[in-house]
């Protein structure tokens, strides 16, 4: 049974706001405050930040081949890319507009377009390499975002378990009993 109060879509400043958008905005705002205030988001409007984050997630999914990506990782990649490259936010917005206008069905179709400029290709490379390598870097800094969830491991996910930590010293097993540190005389001949 539906609840008319909970199922209602309200309007704020003439724009419809669903419960999902409200919860997403509250989650982004809470995360921003926990990390160090709303200024971390680059905006004082949590709803605008949530929209920008969703746009970046959709853009990333398109650029990496269309498979679903984690929203939390998208937020972290976007923040790190913007922190390490002050021009990234504007470049990503321009790329988003280009992708939307191009109406390409797949990333390969987009890359084959002759009017795709070099700065847009650079932005594509930044986003795709971040997702596939799990790191964001520039000439002087490298930030690890996700090792185990880097997309480079997707092709082998059914047969390879990506270790997220080491077992510590001697985790490979016992040393052989007759281990000698002196050179073998036969090997020195």
pLDDT confidence of residue 135: 92
Residue 174 lies in a domain: no
Q: What is the band of 7 on the pLDDT scale with cuts at 50, 70, 90?
A: very low
Residue 5 lies in a domain: no
Q: Is the pLDDT of residue 187 over 80?
A: no
Residue 185 lies in a domain: no
DSSP class per residue in the chain: ---TTTTPPEEETTEEE-HHHHHHHHHHHHHHHHHT-GGGGTSS-HHHHHHHHHHHHHHHHHHTTS----HHHHHHHHHHHHHH-TTHHHHHHHHHHHHHHHT-SSHHHHHT-TT--HHHHHHHHHHHHHHHHSEEE-SS-EEE--STT-GGGGGGTTT-PPPSS---TTTT-PPPTT---SPPTTTT-
pLDDT confidence of residue 147: 85
Q: Which residue did the predictor score with more confidence, 145 or 166?
A: 145
Residue 132 lies in a domain: yes
Query: Domain range holding 18?
Result: 10-156
Instruction: Provide the number of structural domains found in the chain.
Output: 1
Residue 4 lies in a domain: no
> What is the C-alpha to C-alpha distance for residues 127 and 119, in angstroms, rounded to an integer?
13
Residue 32 lies in a domain: yes
Q: List, in order, residues 6 or more apart from 153 with CB less than 8 Å away.
A: 160, 162
Summarize pLDDT for 142-152 with one digit per residue, the tens.
899 988 899 99
Average predicted confidence (pLDDT) for the chain: 78
pLDDT confidence of residue 18: 67
User: Is-contact 49 28, C-beta < 8 A?
Assistant: yes
Q: Which residue did the predictor score with more confidence, 122 or 41?
A: 122
Q: Is the pLDDT of residue 183 over 70?
A: no
Summarize pLDDT for 72-129 with one digit per residue, the tens.
999 999 999 999 999 999 999 999 999 999 999 999 999 999 999 999 999 999 999 9
pLDDT confidence of residue 138: 87
Residue 149 lies in a domain: yes
Residue 39 lies in a domain: yes
Summarize pLDDT for 30-40 with one digit per residue, the tens.
655 555 544 44
């Amino acid at each position: 049974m539906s609840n008319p109060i909970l199922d209602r879509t309200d309007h704020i400043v003439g724009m419809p706001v669903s419960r999902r958008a409200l919860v997403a905005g509250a989650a982004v705002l809470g995360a921003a405050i926990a990390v160090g205030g709303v200024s971390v988001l680059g905006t004082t409007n949590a709803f605008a930040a949530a929209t920008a984050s969703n746009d970046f997630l959709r853009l990333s999914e398109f650029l990496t081949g269309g498979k679903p990506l984690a929203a939390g990782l998208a937020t972290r990649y976007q923040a790190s890319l913007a922190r390490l490259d002050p021009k990234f936010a504007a470049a990503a917005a321009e790329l988003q507009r280009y992708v939307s206008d191009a109406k390409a069905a797949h990333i390969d179709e987009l890359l084959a377009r002759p009017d795709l400029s070099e700065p847009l290709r650079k932005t594509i490379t930044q986003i795709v390499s971040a997702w596939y390598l799990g790191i964001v870097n520039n000439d002087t800094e490298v930030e690890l975002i996700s090792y185990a969830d880097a997309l480079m491991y997707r092709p082998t996910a059914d047969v390879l378990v990506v270790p997220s930590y080491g077992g510590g010293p001697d985790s490979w097993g016992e040393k052989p009993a007759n281990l000698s540190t002196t050179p073998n005389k036969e090997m020195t001949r």
